[in-house]
Each structure stands twice: as structure tokens, then as C-alpha cells.
């Protein structure tokens, strides 16, 4: 359950008729003062769902923009414009550019949370030989036992919305479905292999291995090695995930009938997007519509809780941008209705020091690793082991990014067992099959009962319970 339980309808720049967003009439003539030399930025722009594409094209042209993509099912366009005042021409509650915000703030990667965006805190190469002993995270959720009962169905596809998957990796080659993969960095889906392959980050490859990797020669096995994976690249080479990329990813997932998506990121340049704030309102609503559309088409979205170490519902400021945070704000996509948000635990089974948490902001928890919770010698590092691209075929990473695919993998097993089950049912099954993790009497920041508390939600996911 998310902390935000209402729909937001942007008011400025749109007429409202019987609760439906209606775009104002647009002039067919181009604006006389369009900038033709400045660098372009990409925007999400809101329209009434089903708005004819001709009307969208006309308005964008008249206001010095050009269409990159249009999703009529949800009334969201992706547009490019060189004009610094493009959002003002459209209406600041209808248009937003994360890229322009980042450039305008002239922020360094460190100041806007480069580590937090991909939820990654450490990366080390794995050793040689059989790797199964190092997979303590799989044993913690009983994945090896589950694999013997049901490794997952080939009719189930998990979309990895991330930095791309290495489809040539020996543990992933049999799982990745090129026909279901696409690059979404620009906001328009591109199915060319080069558009969805990793370039300078193996974050998505690591996530993918946790969900469905299988390498018999090295003794490495993910949670649901029988399911298919789709590489949906939403992370730019600069490490950013902007609203238009996420919208494209969720729409691609809906159109291709994925059972589950994993989202180990938050949308830049947040952390929080506030439904009442100009600019934020357009981004918030665009992503909300895309997630809602995907959910309505049978896609269960699973997301990382974040690595800032705070209580999400009690946060009053955005660490990345200087604005207040209240009940109308959410970390996207994790804070949206219908999204399963996952906190992280380490080897000892307690909350990782970096993991965000929050009562009714976290549904379940899963192994994400913690450098302070080290396994015994011979059982691997404190961070989960999985597939990598750079520095070797296997390596370890810590973060809620690593916890989220554990939950997504278990959800994929549930989708395999209960074919056609809607997202709400899969969510209830995932929660009910999790192992309760109590707060503990010496943890004052954790609140709630054993099966519904602020650190662990309904508990640690259990793969064996998903298959029997």
C-alpha cells in the first residue's frame, strides 16, 4: 500500500469537464519565436486520454516543440523542445523535463544522489569455481528448494526496467527474449538490440541474474530460471532515469503483457515528486497513468524502497531538491498505488543500514546485503552475488536494488503457478507467503506488528511458499 491514496488532476493549463482532462484548443500555426539553436530537452506532456494525435502534433508545433512519442491510451506525449519556456507555453502543470531541471541546477552527480538513483552501494568481483555456496541470499528465501519444485514458466516474462541486460552472458542467454526487449531512454521504444544492451552499467544485468539466471557450469542459479526476461533500458549513459523513460518502459510492459516488472531505481531528479507542485505535477501524473495502465493490463510492478535510510512517510524534505515533502508527494514509482515496494535486509536478516522503510510504504523485504552483516567464511560477501558485465561475469552488489529483484523473482514464480492471476492477487499471495520478521524490542524506529511493520512490511519473501 502506498502512502498516497488519491488521484491528482492537474488544474492549470487544462479545462476540466465532468472530471476528464481536456486539452485547450491549439493553433495550427507555429509560434513565431521558436528557438532553433539552443540544446533541446525532452518533456512529458499531459493530454486527455485518447486525444487525437493530430491535435497533439498541432499544439506541440505551435508551442515550439516536436513529438518524440505519444501514448494515446494514457494521454501522455513525449516532446522535444529547444525553447527554455516550453513548459510555460504548454502549462507548468502539464509539462515537465527532468533533463532540463538537472542541467539548470548545474548539480554534480554526488549532490543529486548518483548512488541513490540506481540503489547501488558496492560492487566486487566473485571468485573462481562453484558459486552456489556464495549465494546466501538464495538460501535465505529458500530459492534452491523452490527451483526443485517449479523453476518458473516460459510463458511468464519479467521486464527488467534498468540499464540493460547482457544477453550474451552465459547465465542469461537462454532467458533474455530479444523480441520483448526495447530501449526506452528517449521516451520512445526502440527494439533494436543496441538500444537495450548495457553500455556503461551492469546494474540491470546484476538484477536480471537474481531473477532468472542459470549457469550450471559455475553453480549459479537465480530465483526463477525458467521464466523469460525482457531488457527494457530506461537508464541513460549518464545514469539518469527521467519520467519519459519510465513511462515508455511501463507502456512497453503493458503492451507486451509482461507478468512482472522490476524497478530498481527512483525517477530523477527526485527523490520525491509532489502532485501539487508545478512541473512535478506533470511528471507525477504521467508516471502514475503509465503504472496504472500497466497494472490494468495485468502487470505487477515491483520497486526498490531506496537507499537513503529514512522513514518514507515521515520525510519532510527532498534530499535531492530544495522543496518540502508532504502527503501529496511520493518516490516514483515505488510510492504509487499498486506497486510492491521492497526494503532490504542483510545476511543476519535484519534491515540493512541504508534501506528506506516506512509503515504502509513497504510491502515486503528481501536480501539486499549489508557490509555490516557478513556471512561466515566460505559463504560469500555481505552483498548478494549475481551476473555482471564489467570486471568479470559475476560480482556482488548491495542495495535495495538487489532486494527488489528477489521479490520480483518470487512474484514470477507465483505468476507461473497461478497463470493469469491479476496483480492485486499476486501481491496478496506474495505478502501472505512471506516470513514474518518482527521489529525487535531494541529497535525504536521500527513500528507495527510482526506481519505489518515499518521495516519489513509483511515479511521476507519466500520462494518455496510461492510454489507449494
Q: What is the CATH number of the domain that holds 156?
A: 3.40.50.200
User: Which pLDDT score is estimated for 19?
Assistant: 34
Domain end among 49, 76, 105:
105
User: Which pLDDT score is estimated for 14?
Assistant: 38
User: β-strands 157-162, 122-125: how paired?
Assistant: unpaired
Whether residue 6 is predicted with pLDDT greater than 50 in this model: the reply is: no
Same domain (yes/no): 53, 182: no
User: Which pLDDT score is estimated for 417?
Assistant: 98
Return d(Cα 398, Cα 396) in angstroms, integer: 7
User: Which pLDDT score is estimated for 392?
Assistant: 86
How far lies 436's CA from each of 44, 365, 456, in Å?
40, 10, 8
Same domain (yes/no): 155, 61: no
Whether residue 235 lies inside any domain: the answer is yes
C-alpha distance across the termini of the chain, in Å: 26
Whether residue 6 lies inside any domain: the answer is no
pLDDT class for 10, splitting at 50, 70, 90? very low
pLDDT class for 322, splitting at 50, 70, 90? confident
User: Which residue, among 141, 206, 159, has the nearest Cα to 383 in the 3D structure?
Assistant: 206
Whether residue 418 lies inside any domain: the answer is yes
Average pLDDT of the segment spanning 43-62: 98
Same domain (yes/no): 85, 142: no
Whether residue 4 lies inside any domain: the answer is no
Whether residue 5 lies inside any domain: the answer is no
Q: Which residue range(s) make up the domain with 29?
A: 15-105
Domain end among 47, 82, 105:
105
Average pLDDT of the segment spanning 326-355: 97
Return d(Cα 381, Cα 306) in angstroms, integer: 21
User: Which pLDDT score is estimated for 236?
Assistant: 96
Whether residue 23 is predicted with pLDDT greater than 70 in this model: the reply is: no
Same domain (yes/no): 135, 80: no
Same domain (yes/no): 164, 28: no
DSSP string of 36-72, one letter each residue: SSSPPEEEEEE--TT--HHHHHHHHHHTT-EEEEEET
Same domain (yes/no): 164, 99: no
Question: Tell me: the pLDDT tens digits for 280-303?
Answer: 999 999 999 999 999 999 999 999
Lowest mean pLDDT among 25-29, 107-111, 245-249: 107-111
Same domain (yes/no): 192, 218: yes
CA atoms within 13 A on the CB side of 81: 30
Check residue 359 and report its DSSP letter. Answer: T
Same domain (yes/no): 46, 171: no
Whether residue 12 is predicted with pLDDT greater than 60 in this model: the reply is: no
Question: Tell me: the pLDDT tens digits for 353-401?
Answer: 999 999 999 999 999 999 999 999 999 999 999 999 988 899 999 999 9
Same domain (yes/no): 192, 307: yes
Question: Tell me: the pLDDT tens digits for 208-261?
Answer: 999 999 999 999 999 999 999 999 999 999 999 999 999 999 999 999 999 999
User: Which pLDDT score is estimated for 121?
Assistant: 52
Whether residue 245 lies inside any domain: the answer is yes
Check residue 314 and report its DSSP letter. Answer: G
Average pLDDT of the segment spanning 110-118: 37
Question: Tell me: the pLDDT tens digits for 404-439?
Answer: 999 999 999 999 999 999 999 999 999 999 999 999
User: Which pLDDT score is estimated for 128?
Assistant: 74
Q: Which three cell numbers stand for residue 227?
A: 521464466
Return d(Cα 368, Cα 398) in angstroms, integer: 5
Whether residue 293 lies inside any domain: the answer is yes
Report the mean per-residue pLDDT for the chain.
90
pLDDT class for 441, splitting at 50, 70, 90? confident
User: Which pLDDT score is estimated for 106?
Assistant: 55
Same domain (yes/no): 422, 452: yes
pLDDT class for 32, splitting at 50, 70, 90? low
Cis peptide before 333 (omega within 30 of 0): yes
Element (H, E) at 116: helix 114-117
Same domain (yes/no): 247, 274: yes
User: Which pLDDT score is estimated for 360?
Assistant: 96
Percent over 90 (pLDDT), the chain:
85
Question: Tell me: the pLDDT tens digits for 160-198?
Answer: 999 999 999 999 999 999 999 999 999 999 999 999 999
367 and 340 in contact (C-beta within 8 Å)? no
Give the number of domains in the chain: 2
Domain end among 105, 136, 154:
105
Lowest mean pLDDT among 7-11, 70-74, 89-93, 293-297: 7-11
222 and 214 in contact (C-beta within 8 Å)? yes
Same domain (yes/no): 149, 95: no
Lowest mean pLDDT among 47-51, 123-127, 310-314: 123-127
Whether residue 80 is predicted with pLDDT greater than 60 in this model: the reply is: yes
Amino acid at each position: 500500500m502506498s502512502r498516497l491514496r488519491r488521484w491528482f488532476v492537474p488544474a492549470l493549463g487544462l479545462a476540466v469537464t465532468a472530471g476528464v482532462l481536456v486539452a485547450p484548443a491549439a493553433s495550427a500555426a507555429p509560434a513565431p519565436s521558436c528557438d532553433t539553436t539552443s540544446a533541446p530537452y525532452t518533456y512529458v506532456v499531459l493530454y486527455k486520454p485518447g486525444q487525437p494525435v493530430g491535435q497533439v502534433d498541432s499544439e506541440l508545433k505551435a508551442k515550439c516543440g516536436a513529438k518524440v512519442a505519444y501514448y494515446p491510451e494514457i494521454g501522455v506525449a513525449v516532446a522535444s523542445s529547444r525553447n527554455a519556456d516550453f513548459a510555460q507555453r504548454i502549462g507548468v502543470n502539464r509539462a515537465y523535463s527532468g533533463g532540463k531541471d538537472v542541467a539548470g541546477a548545474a548539480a554534480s552527480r554526488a549532490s543529486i544522489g548518483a548512488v541513490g538513483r540506481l540503489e547501488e552501494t558496492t560492487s566486487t568481483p566473485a571468485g573462481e569455481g562453484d558459486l552456489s555456496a556464495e549465494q546466501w541470499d538464495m538460501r535465505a528465501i529458500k530459492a534452491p528448494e523452490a527451483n526443485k519444485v517449479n523453476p518458473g514458466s516460459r510463458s511468464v516474462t519479467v521486464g527488467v526496467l534498468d540499464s540493460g541486460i547482457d544477453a550474451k552472458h552465459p547465465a542469461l542467454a537462454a532467458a533474455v527474449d530479444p523480441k520483448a526487449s526495447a530501449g526506452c531512454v528517449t521516451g520512445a521504444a526502440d527494439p533494436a538490440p543496441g538500444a537495450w544492451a548495457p553500455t556503461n552499467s551492469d546494474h540491470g544485468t546484476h538484477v536480471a541474474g537474481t531473477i532468472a539466471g542459470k549457469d550450471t557450469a559455475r553453480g549459479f542459479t537465480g530465483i526463477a530460471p525458467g521464466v523469460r526476461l525482457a531488457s527494457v533500458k530506461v537508464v541513460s549513459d549518464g545514469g539518469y532515469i527521467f519520467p519519459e523513460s519510465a513511462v515508455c518502459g511501463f507502456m512497453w510492459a503493458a503492451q507486451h503483457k509482461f507478468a512482472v516488472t522490476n524497478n530498481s531505481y527512483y525517477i530523477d531528479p527526485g527523490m520525491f515528486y509532489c502532485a501539487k507542485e508545478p512541473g512535478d505535477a506533470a511528471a507525477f501524473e504521467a508516471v502514475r497513468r503509465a503504472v496504472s495502465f500497466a497494472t490494468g493490463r495485468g502487470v505487477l510492478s515491483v520497486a526498490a524502497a531506496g537507499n537513503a535510510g529514512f522513514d518514507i512517510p515521515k520525510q519532510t524534505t527532498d534530499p535531492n531538491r530544495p522543496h518540502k515533502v508532504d502527503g501529496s508527494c511520493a518516490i516514483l514509482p515505488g510510492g504509487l498505488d499498486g506497486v510492491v515496494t521492497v526494503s532490504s535486509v542483510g545476511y543476519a536478516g535484519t534491515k540493512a543500514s541504508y534501506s528506506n522503510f516506512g509503515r504502509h510504504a513497504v510491502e515486503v523485504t528481501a536480501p539486499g546485503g549489508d557490509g555490516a552483516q557478513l556471512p561466515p567464511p566460505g559463504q560469500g560477501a555481505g552483498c548478494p552475488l549475481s551476473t555482471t558485465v564489467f570486471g568479470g561475469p559475476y560480482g556482488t552488489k548491495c542495495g535495495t536494488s538487489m532486494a527488489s529483484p528477489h521479490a520480483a523473482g518470487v512474484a514470477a514464480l507465483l505468476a507461473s503457478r497461478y497463470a493469469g492471476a491479476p496483480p492485486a492477487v499476486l501481491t496478496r499471495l506474495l505478502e501472505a507467503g512471506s516470513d514474518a520478521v518482527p521489529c525487535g524490542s531494541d529497535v525504536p524506529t521500527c513500528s507495527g506488528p510482526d506481519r505489518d511493520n515499518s521495516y519489513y512490511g509483511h515479511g521476507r519473501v519466500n520462494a518455496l511458499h510461492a510454489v507449494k
